[in-house]
A and B are shown apart, each in its own frame.
Chain A
Amino acid sequence: ILNVEQSPQSLHVQEGDSTNFTCSFPSSNFYALHWYRWETAKSPEALFVMTLNGDEKKKGRISATLNTKEGYSYLYIKGSQPEDSATYLCASPGSARQLTFGSGTQLTVLP
């Protein structure tokens, strides 16, 4: 069973703060690492798919990095806004055909 772990479990930040959270995954049999954003009462939405060690992806104020050798990825949010409040999920397929999801980091941005 693939073990994908995320930390912290939840996070409260003030509007304007920058923040980051971590996803850990097995470094062996690595194929891809996904990040999703899941707003309350909506469905998860894909943010990034990363496949190469050292990959960096950016979408607006959100960016992600990938270290496949040590088995971690960071998601960064610069200048957090209340609309960034959501649960952020990472997932990896390992050697399987389907994604195994972490339990998520719940971000609350306080105005």
Chain B
Amino acid sequence: DSGVTQTPKHLITATGQRVTLRCSPRSGDLSVYWYQQSLDQGLQFLIQYYNGEERAKGNILERFSAQQFPDLHSELNLSSLELGDSALYFCASSVDSGPLNYGYTFGSGTRLTVV
């Protein structure tokens, strides 16, 4: 157990639907990062939150949004789902606002399948 909790582990949903992925960071970590891994692609950065505020945005679609709550857990909302959104979504946390001195701690991921 890495200390980063992601739920659910698996999700199957239909096109056009909306889902919410949840992440609780490791105790003491203030930053939460969301990454997407599609088939045959590497880890692609989506968005970062630090202590409740958005800090950095990557190639995140407008249909996707995220937030970090006062208790530091984060949710990634994916709407109007398309087949191409099927992927493994990872949450990672770190103690600082940028990965200069400490590595990420990854959750176990959520496998999203859109049918």
Contacts and interface: CB of A to CB of B under 8 A. Distances in A.
User: Main secondary structure on chain B at its contact with chain A?
Assistant: loop
Contacts of B102: 49
A33 B50 CA distance: 21
Interface residues of A, number: 24
Interface in A64-111: 89, 91, 93, 96-104
Nearest to B96: A97
B43 interface: yes
Contacts of B90: 43-44
How large, as a class, is the contact surface on chain B? 20 to 34
A98 B58 contact: yes
Interface string B50-80: 1000011010000000000000000000000
Interface of B: 2, 4, 33, 35, 42-43, 45, 48, 50, 55-56, 58, 90, 97-109
Interface of A: 31-32, 34, 36, 42-47, 49, 51, 89, 91, 93, 96-104
